Each structure stands twice: as structure tokens, then as C-alpha cells.
Chain A
Amino acid sequence: MDRKVEALSVPATRKARKKISIIPYLFIAPHLLFFAAFLAWPFLYGIYISLFKFDFLRPERRPFVGLQNYAELFDPESVPFDDFWNGLSNTGEFILWSVLPLVGIALVLAVLLNRNYPGRGIFRTIFFAPYTLSVTVAAVLWWWIFQGQGGLINNVLKGIGLTPPNWLGDMPGAWIAITIATVWWTIGFNTIIFLTALQEIPKSLYEAASIDGANAQQQFLLITIPMLRSVMVFVLTITLIASANLFGQPYIMTAGGPAEGTQTVIYRIFIEGIQRSQMGRAAAMSILVALLLLSLTYLNFKFFGSSQEQ
């Protein structure tokens, strides 16, 4: 860009004195244009919006309110307080429901796929297939399966003489339904990540261990688990973030119910910003949620990540 700066900062070898070409900038320009407009700019613009009472439908009245949108979220007397914290605690509840199965079952599936037997490719294909579907398909399908009247699960339960619950209209049925739908839909992703990592573990380690007389369980505990440490942190982190972004499943399966019990914080931001066009408030909520997620990611890496790395 600025040739003078470049000339000062780089030692004057023959190569560095070469004229700065515009060609590389032409290569990055198309991406940079979109990057600047839709990733760099909104970072600043979001903070800016959050400082105003920014009603999307009333552009003539958008007073600067400073940090009021943030302060409101911590003031139990304010209008958005209850809904925001309800959303946040619902998101937290879904994280508690979903992360363990999404990581644990994925690890089990990956270990089962990481063996040599006829049909293993077919099983991999089947386990991963739902991941290729749209959230709408996954959610509508499981919404139908969990229907109180005529749904597949309740038909089975009735068949064996049990009283079928009203899954989507009661707690904790709604969370169970949303969790199962999510596990079914997305677990293939984690499974493939684990499977790839398992296959990166040098086979010589297992050979050496079995010469030393270690059985399969010991090998799993002493080789597989420690070798998966860094990928485990990665999978845990992206699963946490994905679960924290829950929106489509409750939007379609429960409409946030029963009694706003599955209305997640993303759902709340959607209602506040898009449906009620209170964009200043919604932007402040987004930034707070983003900060929370960043700290979670940081803690995750700090506590599970760094030590024992080779």
C-alpha cells in the first residue's frame, strides 16, 4: 500500500527494492471487499448500534443512550431483563442437555468406526447422513416423531402399554425432544473429527503397548484418550458454541414453548431485533452473548488445552 513505509521497514536487498506490484491486491480484492463490509465493519457497527435506542422502524427517533442498553440487561426492574436472562438460562440448560451426548456418543461412534471390518464404510455413511440435511428438515421430522397424538414415539409407547407424555408441550419433554433431534442431526460432524484424530495416532504406540502386555482397555485409557486431548478440546469448544447458538430447532419444534421454556437467547435476540425491531437492545444482547462465548472458549482452552501438549 504505502511504498515509503515498505522501503523503510525492509532491508534494501535487491529483492525488497523490487517495485510493489498491484497484482496481489487484485487477487485479494474481491474477498477483502466482502470481508470488510460483512465481517470487519459489522464488528464496529454492532458496537455503535448498541449505544443507541435504535428502533429499525423509526429512523427519525434514534437517541444516543450510551451504555443504557447494557445496563438494562443487569437491572431486574427493566423491561428486557427477565426475557434476556430467561433466554440465557434456557441456552445454558440446552448446553447441559446436549454437550455430553454430542461429544461422548460421537467418541463412541468414532471408536466403533476406527476398526477394520466389512461394512464399516456403510456405517460411516449412515451415521453422517443426517448432518447433510437442513435444520428445518431435522426439526420438522422430529417434531412429527414427538407429536403427542399419532407421533411415532407415542405410538410405540402406547403399544407397550405406557402412558405417552406430551413431549413438546411439557418439561423436560421439550428439551429431550430438541436434544435428540440435535444429536441425530449433528453428531456425524463430531464423529468424523474424532475418527480422523484416531487415525492420526501412530500405530507403533499400540504395538509397543501390546508387546508390553497392555490389554485393549488399558490401551484405550493410556494411549487413545491422552492422544485425543487436543482434538477433544476442539470438539468440546465447537459443540459448546454450536449449542449456544440453538435457534432453528425450538423455533420449529416448540415455538420457544412451553411457557417460553425453550426460548433460547438467540431466539430472544431474533424476537427483540427482528420482530420487535429494537436493534440497539438486540445488538447489546448479541455483544454480551459473544463476550460470554469468548470467555467460555478461553476457559476451555486454558483448563483442558495447553498442558501435556507435545
Chain B
Amino acid sequence: MATLQPTRHEIQETEVEIGESKLSKISFYLLMTLFALFFLLPLLWMIVTAFKPFEEWLSPNWIPVNPTLENFTSIFNDKSLPILNWFFNSLLIALLFTVAILIIDSLAGYAYARLEFPGKNLLFGLMLATLVMPGIMFLIPNYLTVANLKWIGTIQGVIAPGLAGVFGVFFMRQFFESLPKELEEAAYIDGASVWQTFISVILPLSKGPMITLGIITFLTSWNEFLWSLLILGGKRTALTLPVGLATLQGQYTFDYGKLMAGALVLTIPVLILYAFFQRYIIRSISMTGIKG
């Protein structure tokens, strides 16, 4: 089995030039534009539908004749759809999860990268082994564990199992291993403890990878569906936005404008994050690439 290993390079400019002739340049851009439209038009259609009044939902116009906010006001005013609750549940869960992951995984990653202790290789091997295990194996038993803890319908029930994940530990470990050892040796000579060294020497150097891990963790949590559905599905006010939107669909089956308004509420924070932190998100993906 191959091992996960971050590729060292970020995506960068390459030397390969596109075709020389004007014709091949035009056809190249035409092709790229077609692909771009495939990715963009559905998003645009979501936005267009969300701002259309009831009469226009089913008509094919791309610009609403009478643009309106009524889809948004009606889902926000519907007492049976506590969409603001869902929004804050999602936000709280994603924030708590992200902070917890950053703390837990940077601590563990540092120990696995730099500290020596009996059992280290065994534990690390166990963690590696879970990477190849299909997630479905853990679904039912983890649901029972959460139920036994009386955590069904709670935030901790959604968050806790995800904290077992090993991706962040590997990610941070890989970064800490790339730091020069002299940094810590200098701190130890000055009489600093392991803990002090970690807090005041190592962490300040870890901003980049921490932001990358934080963003990707936040996104994953914000978008997560199946587990939240299992844990929160029975309690309407406790839902997250992705589960809430699925509920919305069950309730407003053919109220397309309202559904797209709901989808947009769920999407806007993500697209804002993406706009600002695109570099970090894409880097974290390219780091999951492997070498043989």
C-alpha cells in the first residue's frame, strides 16, 4: 500500500505553451469556456431561481422579469423551518470541530513527528491502517456508541467521532518534520520545556499549515450530511443546514424558488470562504496526492 505523502510543490506556472496559431488559440479558449459554463451555469441557475417570483419558476428565462426576495422571506418566516437555528447550529458545529481538530491534531502531530516514546510506531501503524478501512464499517457501531452516551440529537454527538480522524495528525506531522531541529535544540539549551518550546517556538511557525487544515476542516464539517442526518435527524431545531435543506425539500417539494433560496443560504458562506482562501483549499487537496 502506498503511503500518503504531501507533494512538496504547490501548483505553479509551467512552461508548456498553448498552440501558436491564432485559430488553435481561439478553439482552445472556446473549449475552456464550454467546460467553465458546465460548472458555472448550474450555480447561476440556482441564484436566478432563488430571485424569481412564483409565476416565473417554471419558465426558462435567465433574467427574472420581476426579481423578488419573497422566497427568502418566506423560508425565514416559516415557523416550521427554523433556518436561523440551522445556520447557527452549522456554524457552531463547524467552528467547534475546527478548533478541536487544530488543537488535538497539532499536539498529536508534533509528538509523532518529534518526540520519542515507547509505543509510538505501533500507534502510528494503527493509525495508518485505518486509512484503508472503508468508513461504512464505523457507521453503525459509532451510532450505537453515541446512543449509549445519550448523545443522539446533540452537538457533541455530531462532533466527537470526527475527532478520531487521522488526516489532520498526518498533515501536521508532515509539516513539523520539515522544520529544522535546531529550532528546538536552541530552545532546550535556553532551558525551555517541551511544552514551552511547542507553544512559543513551533506554533508561531505553523500558521500556514494551521490555516490550511482549519479551512478544509471547516468546509468538511459545514458540508457534512450523512452523519449529521443520523445524529440530528429526529430533532427539527437541532439540524444543520445541509440536513435542514434536505428536510426543506421534503416539505416544499415543488417550491423550487424557496428551495434554491435555501440552497443559496447554505452556499454563500462557502463561496466567500473559497474566494478568500482558495489557495489554501487547493493546496490541501494537492497535498493528498501520493507518490508510489
When the two chains form their complex, are residues B246 and A145 in contact, meaning their CB atoms are under 8 A apart?
no
Residues 10-45 of chain A, each 1 if its beta carbon lies under 8 Å from chain B, else 0: 000000000011011101101110110111111101
Specify which of B7, B31, B164, B263 is in contact with A140 (CB 8 Å cutoff): B263
A2, A109, A129, A297: the one contacting B274 at CB < 8 Å is A129
Contact A30 B11 (CB under 8 A): no
A209 interface residue, CB < 8 Å from B? no
- Say yes or no for B189: interface residue by CB 8 A criterion: no
Q: Does A136 contact B (CB under 8 A)?
A: yes
- Say whether A149 faces chain B, with CB atoms less than 8 Å apart: yes
Q: What's the Cα separation between A24 and B198 when bound, in Å? A: 12
Interface residues of B in 114-138 (CB under 8 A from A): 115-120, 123, 126-127, 130, 132-138
- Contact call B138/A43, Cβ cutoff below 8 A: yes
Q: How far is the CA of A196 from the CA of B147 in the complex (A)?
A: 42
Partner of B246, one of A43, A109, A136: A136
A136 adjacent to B108 (CB under 8 Å): no
Q: Tell whether, in the assembled complex, residue A149 and residue B58 are in contact, meaning their CB atoms are under 8 Å apart.
A: yes
B65 within 8 A of A: no
| Per-residue interface assignment for chain A, residues 194 to 220, with 1 indicating a CB less than 8 Å from any chain B CB and 0 otherwise | 011111100100100000000000000
CA–CA, A269 to B139, complex, Å?
A: 9
Q: Which positions 134-182 of chain B face chain A at CB distance < 8 Å? A: 134-145, 147, 160-161, 163-166, 169
Does any Cβ of B come within 8 Å of A150's Cβ? yes
Tell whether, in the assembled complex, residue A230 and residue B11 are in contact, meaning their CB atoms are under 8 Å apart: no
B266 in the interface (beta carbon within 8 A): yes
**Cα A197 to Cα B289 with chains together (Å):** 8
Task: Take A43-B138, A189-B285, A203-B15 as given contacts and tell me if A56 and B292 are in contact as well, using a CB distance cutoff of 8 Å.
Answer: no
Contact A116/B140 with A45-B145, A195-B286, A241-B134 known, Cβ cut-off 8 Å: no
Interface string of B60-93 (1 = CB under 8 A from A): 1000000000000000000000000000000000
How far apart are B65's CB and chain A's nearest CB, in angstroms?
16
Residue A96 CB within 8 A of the other chain: no
A67 in the interface, Cβ–Cβ < 8 Å?
A: no
A144's nearest neighbour on chain B, judged by CB, is B256
**Residue among A2, A28, A136 making CB contact with B243, cutoff 8 Å:** A136
| Given A116-B18, A279-B140, A6-B289 contact (CB < 8 Å) | no
- Does B51 have its Cβ within 8 Å of any Cβ on chain A? no
Main secondary structure of the interface of A (DSSP, over half): helix
B160 touching A40 by the CB < 8 A rule?
no
Q: Determine whether B192 belongs to the interface, using a CB cutoff of 8 Å to chain A.
A: no
Instruction: Check if B14 sits within 8 Å of A46, measured CB to CB.
Output: no
CB pair A152 B14 closer than 8 Å: no
Per-position contact with A for B1-38: 1 when CB-CB < 8 Å, else 0?
Answer: 11000010101111111100000000011011001101
Number of B residues whose C-beta is below 8 Å from A? 108
Quote the shortest CB–CB distance from A106 to chain B (angstroms): 11
Cβ-defined contact, B107 with A141, below 8 A: no
Q: In whole angstroms, what is the CA distance A118 to B29 when docked?
A: 10
> Please, how many angstroms separate the alpha-carbon atoms of A116 and B14 in the complex?
6
In the assembled complex, which residues on chain A have CB atoms less than 8 Å from the CB atom of B116?
24
Residues of A within 8 A of B118 (CB): 1-2, 5-6, 20
- B245–A136 contact, CB under 8 A? yes
> What 1/0 flags go to A41-82 for Cβ under 8 Å of B?
111011001000000100000000000000000000000000
Q: Which of B58, B108, B112 has the most CB of A within 10 A?
A: B108
A137:B267 contact, CB within 8 angstroms: yes
The answer for the CA separation of A109 and B108 in the assembled complex, in Å, is: 37
Closest to A44 in B: B141
Q: Is B203 an interface residue (CB 8 A)?
A: no
A-chain residues with CB within 8 Å of residue B144 when the two chains form the complex: 45, 49, 56, 279
A223–B154 alpha-carbon span in the complex (Å): 53
* B18 vs chain A, min Cβ distance (A): 5
Distance between Cα atoms of A25 and B1 in the complex (Å): 28
The interface residues of chain B lying within 8 Å CB-to-CB of A49 are 140-141, 144
A128 CB within 8 Å of chain B: yes
Q: Tell me if B183 is interfacial: C-beta within 8 Å of chain A.
A: no
Instruction: Tell which of A162-170, A171-179, A281-289 binds the partner.
Output: A281-289
For the complex, give the distance between the alpha carbons of A147 and B1 in Å.
43
CB distance from B86 to the nearest CB of A (A): 11
Inter-subunit contact A27/B110 (CB<8 Å): yes
Q: Which residues of B contact A290 (CB under 8 A)?
A: 133-134, 136-137
B residues near A248, Cβ cutoff 8 Å:
225-226
Q: Tell me which residues from 250 to 284 in chain B have a Cβ below 8 Å from any Cβ of chain A.
A: 256, 259-260, 262-263, 266-267, 270-271, 273-274, 278, 281-282
A46 x B7 contact (CB < 8 A):
no
Given the complex, which residues of A lie within 8 Å of B224, measured CB to CB? 134
Please give me the residue from chain B that is nearest to A194 by CB atom. Answer: B289
Q: Give chain A residues whose Cβ lies under 8 Å from the Cβ of B1.
A: 301
Whether a CB of chain A sits under 8 angstroms from the CB of B207 is no
- Do residues B222 and A199 form an inter-chain contact, with CB atoms below 8 A? no
**How far is A293 from B123 in the complex, measured between Cα atoms in Å?**
24
- Asked if A133 is at the interface (CB within 8 A of a chain B CB), the reply is yes
**Judging by beta carbons under 8 Å apart, are A140 and B111 in contact?**
no
Chain B interface (Cβ within 8 Å of chain A)? 1-2, 7, 9, 11-18, 28-29, 31-32, 35-36, 38-40, 42-43, 45-46, 49, 57-60, 103-105, 107-108, 110-112, 115-120, 123, 126-127, 130, 132-145, 147, 160-161, 163-166, 169, 193-195, 198, 219, 222-226, 230, 241-243, 245-246, 249, 256, 259-260, 262-263, 266-267, 270-271, 273-274, 278, 281-282, 285-286, 288-292
Closest 5 CB pairs of A and B: A150-B58, A42-B141, A27-B111, A134-B223, A38-B164
